Amino acid sequence: MYIPGADTQRLQEVVINSKASTYCYWFAKNIQGADIQRLQEVVIAGKVAVLCYRFALNVTGADIKRLQEVVVSSKNKSLIAEFTEDFKANKGQ
C-alpha cells in the first residue's frame, strides 16, 4: 500500500516506538518500503506466537527461523502444527 504524500518513514517510527506488535505486523505486511527487520524485532519481542506465525506466513523477507522460535516456545500444539504444515506446503515437501 502506498499513500501519496504520506511520510511513511515517520509513521513507521511511531509504530515501532509504540512497541505494538499488531501494528508492526500490519505495517510490515501492508506498507510498501517498510523496514521489515525493525518491525519484525518488535513482533518477536512481543512474544505473541500467533502474530509471529502470521508475520512469517505473510511478510516477504521475514526471518522464518527466528519467528518459528516464538511459535515453538509458546508450546501451543495446534499453532505449532499449523506453522509446520504451512511451511512444509510452501516448500513443496
pLDDT tens digit sequence for 33-74: 999 999 999 999 999 999 999 999 999 999 999 999 999 999
Q: How many domains does the chain have?
A: 1
Decide which of 69 and 89 is more confident: 69
Q: Which domain holds residue 82?
A: 8-90
Q: Is residue 83 part of a domain?
A: yes
Q: How sure is the predictor about 93, in pLDDT bands with cuts at 50, 70 and 90?
A: very low
At residue 4, the pLDDT reads 75
Q: Is residue 2 part of a domain?
A: no
In whole angstroms, give the CA distance from residue 79 to residue 93.
19
Which residues make Cβ contacts (< 8 Å) with residue 71, sequence separation at least 6? 49, 52, 53, 56, 79, 80, 83
Q: Is residue 20 part of a domain?
A: yes
Output the nine-digit C-alpha cell for 76. 501451543
Q: Is residue 1 part of a domain?
A: no
Q: Is residue 46 part of a domain?
A: yes
Which residues make Cβ contacts (< 8 Å) with residue 37, sequence separation at least 6? 61, 63
